[in-house]
C-alpha cells in the first residue's frame, strides 16, 4: 500500500543522489572530448562507479568499412575479371 502511494506521488525511495549535476555534465563533456574514466575521476572527484552509473554508455565505433574517396571502385574490378568457369590468366 505504501509502495503504491510512493509510485503515484512520484517520490524517490532510497538514498538521495549525491552527484552534483554540474560536475556530472562536465564529466560527460570530458568523456565526449576523449578523456579516459581515470582522468575524469581525477579531474572531477566523482567516483568511477558513479560515472559508469550516471553517464550514458559510449556508442561503439562502427566495425564496417566505409567508402573513402581514395578507395577503388569495386565495379571496375568486376569488369576486368572474366566470368566464372572461363579460364583466368
Domain formed by 16-58, architecture: Orthogonal Bundle (1.10)
Strand intervals (E) in the chain: none
In 7-65, beta strands by DSSP E: none
Q: Which grid cell is 19?
A: 552527484
- Ranges of residues in the chain with a pLDDT under 50 are none
Half-sphere exposure of 68 (CA within 13 A, CB side): 4
* Cα separation values, 34 from 25, 30, 79, Å: 15, 7, 44
pLDDT for 35 equals: 93
Cα maximum dimension of the chain: 82
Determine phi and psi for 5, rounding to 5 degrees.
-65, -40
Domains of the chain by residue range: 16-58
Q: Take residue 8 and report the three cell numbers written for it.
A: 503515484
Amino acid at each position: 500500500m505504501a509502495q503504491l502511494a510512493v509510485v503515484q506521488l512520484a517520490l524517490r525511495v532510497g538514498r538521495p543522489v549525491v552527484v552534483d549535476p554540474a560536475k556530472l555534465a562536465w564529466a560527460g563533456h570530458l568523456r565526449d572530448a576523449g578523456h579516459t574514466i581515470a582522468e575524469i575521476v581525477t579531474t572531477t572527484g566523482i567516483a568511477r562507479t558513479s560515472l559508469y552509473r550516471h553517464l550514458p554508455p559510449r556508442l561503439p565505433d562502427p566495425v564496417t568499412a566505409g567508402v573513402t574517396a581514395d578507395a577503388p571502385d569495386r565495379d571496375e574490378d568486376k569488369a576486368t575479371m572474366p566470368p566464372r568457369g572461363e579460364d583466368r590468366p
